[in-house]
A = this chain, B = another copy of it.
Amino acid sequence: MSEQKRPLIFVTNDDGITAPGISALVDAMLPLGNVWIIAPDKAQSGMGHAVTFSTILRLKPFKYGRGVQGAWACSGTPVDCVKLGIAEVLHRKPDLLVSGINHGSNASINVIYSGTMSAAVEGAVESIPSIGFSLMDEDWDADFEAAGAVAGKMAAQVLEHGLPEGTCLNVNIPKGRPADVGDIKICRQAMGYWKDAFDSRQSPSGAPYYWMRGEIYNPDKGADTDMAALDAGNISVVPIHYDMTAHHAIGQLNQWDL
């Protein structure tokens, strides 16, 4: 494959440019194309689709090596990285945008809180074939070998087939060695949610503050959900789009006296 014909692959994440997860993703992408990294300069987990327009953004070159074409650390959110990377680093849309590999699950409702997935959704908004990858292991030193192999396989498929207009993929990979990880299942998002709780504490000077915690609860037992696939040890792939319209509710609302 000549250098000109190699796909341009944009790699980002939400755990920051120094995270082991993005390193595993870069390794998986290098055989597939010319890799550029524009990723947050610090952890940006839980940033959702936040964008920075009320303050300034910075880009700093980052020595990544390993055959990467260029790497930049951005002071903003994952979505900022996508917007600023395209406009000011690549000066063109990439052929593929990949985000991750996240340290922790982005299945079910996590898709709306996730910086990893919001970067992929922003790619979809900009008509770029985009995938977010997440490993079901929050450890910084998690074993990314199986997830990296899945990322390489899925990226090759997306480069070959493209994706339906306005969609991206939310890929979650179970924890485990490559031999232990099951099949790839196309799923829908499970309708789970977080049961929130807060730890109430006091600072040394007596000022109250809170830590958010909680646990995910999934009453949606559908066999076609991402949570069901993951519970069975399989890899979940959910096509995601950014049309948030509840189309099924329009008829009902039209009966109101407005």
Contact = CB atoms under 8 A, between A and B. Distances in A.
A46 B56 contact: no
A196 interface: yes
A207 B75 CA distance: 13
Nearest to A192: B125
A157 to B, nearest CB: 5
A196 B111 contact: no
Interface residues of A, number: 79
A32 interface: no
B253 A246 contact: no
A172 to B, nearest CB: 14
A238 B245 contact: yes
Contact of A239 (B187, B207, B253, B257): B253
A249 B189 CA distance: 13
A2 interface: no
B188 A245 contact: yes
Nearest to A257: B157
A198 B47 contact: no
A241 B250 contact: no
Given A112-B125, A153-B258, 4 more contacts: A57-B210, A58-B210, A84-B198, A242-B244
